[in-house]
């Protein structure tokens, strides 16, 4: 953790003493250097951004809509398109339940502020996307944790045991598809059981579906929101299916909560960037998103398979790896303990390869996590994946 030093005599809010930039943000500086081959971040493949079509959409908006550069109300047409997108995920909703946000990250922050009292408990997995921890941090919550099975997802026996013993978390955070960092998707049986528990105990679920559209094998399973309307707050994003720089996401929430969420959002950033909302709507109007997502799925499936094959060739025998059906990440457990911090340092300095050590995502540290790493497979092309996994493999053979 970095030391936070306030100018002399200045008192910072007490909760900020516990915060630091996430390891991922710190890695951003390293991993985006041109000479580094990065498996570290959750970056979409830049060469696959639909730049031409998006430029056309932007030019159209700027030349025809006078208010595109103005403060603005949430874009109604965009909400209607999101309702159609949600139908592709099997979610039935209407545009009055759609709340536009500045990315999925803001959705998490707003919902945390809506649902969580200071010091109250929230339920998260022991190994989890650090963004949710940053969203709840200002409220200094009590973190209740449950383990995750690498094949079927969140341990629901543990969830049920916590709830049955009287804990009443403000919400449960769940990534049903393409878990970040573990790569796992919740089994259908667990999805049904999780929403049943939410209903039974009256606990809202924040369903983070950042990777739901990026499925690679069979037909995707229904998100939790398709199984339960009242207790699931669905969070979606254009970051991974269009481009993260646009900073647009959305939530599907009960209509009755839209006005309080609007007030919370106003205090946070007034409104989601008007230009992004309108250009996304114009791009969606061109009807190209479904084909673009299909292209991404094909490209990322190939990259995932390339990485898995390369690991079989180059990584030490006994390495365990998730087989993700969605998303952008492989979770790798090495057969023996290694000093991950040192490994990362050498990987970056000598081999020019970056990854994220597993502990960067741990709320509750354990032995398996200390010999784990998260690898992104979406960002590098297949040739670079083979090259990079080969070089990492060399390093691991020396270390193990």
Ligand X SMILES: Cc1ncc(COP(=O)(O)O)c(C=O)c1O
Residues in touch with ligand X (CB under 6 A):
42, 103-105, 129, 131, 175, 180, 208, 210, 237, 239, 244, 249
Query: Which letter, b or e, does each residue of 229-241 get, where b requires 16 or more Cβ atoms within 10 Å of its Cβ?
Result: eebbbbbbbbbbb
Beta carbon of residue 24, minimum distance to ligand X (angstroms, whole number):
8
Beta carbon of residue 328, minimum distance to ligand X (angstroms, whole number):
8
Task: Report in angstroms the alpha-carbon separations of 175 from 115, 211, 386.
Answer: 18, 9, 29
Cβ closest to ligand X, residue 97 vs residue 239? 239
- Bridge partners, 57 (sequence order): none
Cβ closest to ligand X, residue 132 vs residue 307? 132
Beta carbon of residue 181, minimum distance to ligand X (angstroms, whole number):
8
Beta carbon of residue 103, minimum distance to ligand X (angstroms, whole number):
3
Q: Which residue is nearest to ligand X (CB)?
A: 103
Beta carbon of residue 200, minimum distance to ligand X (angstroms, whole number):
26
Cβ closest to ligand X, residue 207 vs residue 228? 207
Cβ closest to ligand X, residue 115 vs residue 210? 210
Cβ closest to ligand X, residue 137 vs residue 160? 137
Largest CA distance in the chain: 62
Beta carbon of residue 293, minimum distance to ligand X (angstroms, whole number):
15
Cβ closest to ligand X, residue 61 vs residue 175? 175
Cβ closest to ligand X, residue 50 vs residue 131? 131
Beta carbon of residue 329, minimum distance to ligand X (angstroms, whole number):
8
Beta carbon of residue 23, minimum distance to ligand X (angstroms, whole number):
13
**Other CB atoms within 10 A of residue 286 CB:** 13
Task: Report in angstroms the alpha-carbon separations of 205 from 108, 173, 388.
Answer: 11, 6, 38
Cβ closest to ligand X, residue 105 vs residue 274? 105
Tally of residues, the chain: 400
Cβ closest to ligand X, residue 211 vs residue 314? 211
Cα distance between residue 63 and residue 58, in whole Å:
9
Beta carbon of residue 46, minimum distance to ligand X (angstroms, whole number):
15
């Amino acid at each position: 953790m970095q030391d936070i030093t306030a100018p002399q005599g200045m008192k910072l809010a007490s909760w900020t003493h516990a915060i630091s930039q996430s390891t991922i943000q710190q890695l951003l500086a390293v991993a985006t250097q041109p000479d580094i081959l990065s498996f570290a971040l959750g970056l979409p493949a830049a060469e696959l951004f639909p730049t031409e079509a998006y430029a056309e959409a932007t030019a159209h908006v700027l030349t025809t809509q006078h208010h595109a550069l103005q403060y603005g109300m949430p874009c109604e047409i965009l909400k209607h398109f999101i309702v159609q997108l949600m139908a592709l995920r099997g979610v039935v909703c209407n545009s009055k339940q759609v709340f536009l946000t500045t990315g999925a990250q803001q959705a998490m922050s707003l919902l945390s502020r809506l649902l969580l009292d200071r010091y109250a408990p929230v339920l998260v997995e022991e190994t989890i996307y650090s963004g949710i921890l940053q969203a709840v941090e200002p409220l200094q919550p009590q973190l209740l944790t449950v383990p995750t099975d690498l094949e079927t997802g969140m341990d629901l026996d543990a969830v049920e045991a916590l709830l049955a013993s009287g804990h009443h978390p403000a919400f449960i955070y769940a990534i049903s598809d393409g878990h970040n960092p573990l790569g796992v998707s919740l089994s259908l049986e667990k999805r049904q059981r999780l929403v049943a528990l939410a209903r039974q105990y009256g606990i809202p679920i924040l369903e983070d579906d950042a990777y739901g559209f990026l499925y690679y094998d069979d037909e995707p399973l229904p998100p939790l929101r398709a199984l339960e309307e009242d207790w699931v707050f669905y969070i979606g994003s254009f970051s991974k299916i269009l481009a993260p720089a646009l900073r647009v996401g959305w939530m599907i929430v009960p209509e009755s909560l839209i006005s309080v969420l609007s007030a919370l959002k106003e205090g946070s950033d007034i409104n989601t960037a008007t230009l992004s909302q309108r250009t996304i709507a114009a791009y969606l109007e061109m009807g190209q998103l479904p084909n673009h997502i299909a292209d991404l799925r094909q490209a990322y499936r190939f990259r995932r398979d390339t990485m898995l094959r390369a690991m079989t060739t180059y990584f030490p025998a006994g390495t365990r790896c998730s087989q993700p059906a969605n998303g952008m990440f492989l979770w790798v457990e090495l057969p023996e303990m290694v000093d991950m911090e040192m490994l990362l340092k050498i990987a970056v300095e000598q081999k020019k390869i970056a990854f994220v050590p597993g502990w960067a995502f741990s709320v509750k540290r354990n032995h398996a996590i200390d010999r784990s790493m998260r690898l992104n497979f979406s960002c590098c092309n297949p040739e670079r994946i083979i090259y990079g996994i080969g070089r990492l493999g060399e390093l691991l053979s020396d270390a193990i």
